[in-house]
């Protein structure tokens, strides 16, 4: 193993990055998290702070004007933003999700054209795979793209698209050959300003309320042929290859939300007095804290391990177990995040159940990490398939 790639431990630079992002998130993102949730509004303050500090899309390579951060650094950024505000962490996470298809399979021209404005903070990038009738079974999509001379014409409705309406650019998966199933799906870059693109109402959600989730409606959207990402028919492969890299970022989001809840709960149990002493003196409380922390640290180590493998794969190394570790860390970290945030609410007692305290928001935000980028049942299917093949 190359010494440049420590197996599990972040380098000094990674730790420095964590301190920087944590300080920024505490000062500029956390103060708005409750309001963003309460008002279901986009966390503009977070976007501004992230862009000012070049943390909104750190994964974009330097050659396109980006920070060129590795996958572990990207995980740390997402984790630390999520510790303050789950909704805001979807800014760096979805910028990665939307752009990885272009990075993995796009032409040099596409990369230059679309990654540069993302790196500059002028545009965000969403990922449009799911449809109302095609969620877990994403290959069952109906959105169509038909070649017409030098153009493609797209028709269909993509559902549940994170940051839809705010993002300028969208990676859209559409059927180009209905006879070929998953091999008849292609990926395209669609722009918000392309005639025929519109958005549905914002979904009214349980959590991550600051991140708009909307349908993307494509009505006779005519785009130039060179907006095809990779070869015709390779779109589903690209979509899945993307998830191998980005499920790790969902794990990062889950870790961050859980860490925020654990840190808050630790502060609370040291202050809160019952029976004449801080509740942290009770062994029943101590054991809960210990369980929360050890499970969280276990999930973190697997996530960092997966991030390092993702980085290697990005540089062309063969990493046969990337799919396994990526699904495993996503499922584990999101399950741990759900348990840890429920326990944080428990440790705050009745106060934990109110919106005056952040634990219930963190619990609601954690839930989505078990659902998107493939539900945790789907992750288990993917993992089992890798083991049994």
Ligand X SMILES: Cc1cc2nc3c(=O)[nH]c(=O)nc-3n(C[C@H](O)[C@H](O)[C@H](O)COP(=O)(O)OP(=O)(O)OC[C@H]3O[C@@H](n4cnc5c(N)ncnc54)[C@H](O)[C@@H]3O)c2cc1C
**Residues in contact with ligand X by the rule CB under 6 A:** 126-130, 135-136, 160-162, 205, 213, 368, 371-375, 377-378, 381
Beta bridge partners of 278: 273
**Using CA atoms in the order 205, 208, 209, 214, what is the torsion angle rounded to 10 degrees?**
-70
Query: Residue 182, SS3?
Result: helix
- Residue identified by tokens 């799906």 is 185
Query: Least CB distance from residue 160 to ligand X, whole Å?
Result: 3
Instruction: CB nearer to ligand X: give 130 or 259.
Output: 130
Instruction: CB nearer to ligand X: give 46 or 319.
Output: 46
Which of 163, 188, 184, 190 lies closest to 173, judged by CA? 188
Instruction: CB nearer to ligand X: give 96 or 227.
Output: 96
CB 186 within 8 A of CB 235: yes
CB 307 within 8 A of CB 248: yes
Query: Least CB distance from residue 253 to ligand X, whole Å?
Result: 12
Select which of 79, 131, 311, 373 is catalytic: 373
Query: Least CB distance from residue 138 to ligand X, whole Å?
Result: 7
Which of 276, 263, 281, 261 lies closest to 343, judged by CA? 261
Query: Least CB distance from residue 373 to ligand X, whole Å?
Result: 6
Instruction: CB nearer to ligand X: give 145 or 347.
Output: 145
Instruction: CB nearer to ligand X: give 354 or 377.
Output: 377
Instruction: CB nearer to ligand X: give 10 or 135.
Output: 135
Residue 226: DSSP 8-state: G
Query: Least CB distance from residue 16 to ligand X, whole Å?
Result: 31
Q: How many helices (H) and strands (E) does the chain have?
A: 12, 10
Instruction: CB nearer to ligand X: give 84 or 208.
Output: 208
Distance between CA atoms of 8 and 86, rounded to whole angstroms?
25
Is 373 part of the annotated catalytic residue set?
A: yes
CB 214 within 8 A of CB 51: no
Question: From residue 325, how far is each of 142, 319, 387 by CA, in Å?
Answer: 30, 10, 11
Query: Least CB distance from residue 368 to ligand X, whole Å?
Result: 5
Query: Least CB distance from residue 259 to ligand X, whole Å?
Result: 21
Instruction: CB nearer to ligand X: give 254 or 319.
Output: 254
Residue 29: DSSP 8-state: I
Residue 148, burial from CB neighbour count under 10 angstroms (0-12, 13-18, 19+): exposed
The residue ranges of DSSP E strands in 98-143, in sequence order, are 125-128
Opening angle at CA 99, ends 97 and 102, nearest 5? 130
Question: From residue 361, how far is each of 84, 87, 141, 344, 355 by CA, in Å?
Answer: 11, 10, 33, 11, 7
Residue 282: DSSP 8-state: S
Position with the least CB separation from ligand X: 135
Q: Label each residue of 297-315 as H, E or C.
A: HHHHHHHHHHHHHHHHHHC
What amino acid positions are annotated as catalytic residues? 373
């Amino acid at each position: 193993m190359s010494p440049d790639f420590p197996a599990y431990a972040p380098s000094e630079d990674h730790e420095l990055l964590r301190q920087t992002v944590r300080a920024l998130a505490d000062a500029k993102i956390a103060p708005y998290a409750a309001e963003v949730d309460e008002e279901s509004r986009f966390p503009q303050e977070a976007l501004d702070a992230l862009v000012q500090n070049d943390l909104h899309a750190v994964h974009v390579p330097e050659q396109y004007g980006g920070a060129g951060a590795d996958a572990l650094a990207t995980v740390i950024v997402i984790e630390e933003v999520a510790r303050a505000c789950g909704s805001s962490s979807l800014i760096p996470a979805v910028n990665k999700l939307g752009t990885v298809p272009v990075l993995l399979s796009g032409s040099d021209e596409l990369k230059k054209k679309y990654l540069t404005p993302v790196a500059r903070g002028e545009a965000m990038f969403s990922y449009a795979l799911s449809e109302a009738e095609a969620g877990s079974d994403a290959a069952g999509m109906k959105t169509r793209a038909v070649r017409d001379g030098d153009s493609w014409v797209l028709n269909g409705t993509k559902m549940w698209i994170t940051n839809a309406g705010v993002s300028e650019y969208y990676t859209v998966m559409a059927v180009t050959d209905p006879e070929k199933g998953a091999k008849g799906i292609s990926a395209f870059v669609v722009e918000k300003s392309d005639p025929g693109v519109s958005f549905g109402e914002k979904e009214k959600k349980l959590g991550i309320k600051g991140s708009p989730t909307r349908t993307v409606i494509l009505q006779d959207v005519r785009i130039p042929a060179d907006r095809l990402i990779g070869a015709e028919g390779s779109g589903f492969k690209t979509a899945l290859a993307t998830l191998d890299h980005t499920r790790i970022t969902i794990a990062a989001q889950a870790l961050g939300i859980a860490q925020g809840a654990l840190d808050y709960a630790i502060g609370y149990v040291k202050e809160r007095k019952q029976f004449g002493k801080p509740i942290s003196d009770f062994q029943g409380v101590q054991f809960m804290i210990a369980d929360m922390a050890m499970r969280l640290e276990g999930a973190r180590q697997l996530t960092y391990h997966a991030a390092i493998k993702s980085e290697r794969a990005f540089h062309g190394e063969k990493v046969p177990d990337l799919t396994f570790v990526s699904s495993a860390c996503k499922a584990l970290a999101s399950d741990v995040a759900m348990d840890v945030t429920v326990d944080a609410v428990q440790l705050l007692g009745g106060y934990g159940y109110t919106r005056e305290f952040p634990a219930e928001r963190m619990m609601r935000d954690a839930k989505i990490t078990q659902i998107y980028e493939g539900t945790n049942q789907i992750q288990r299917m993917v993992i089992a398939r890798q083991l049994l093949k």
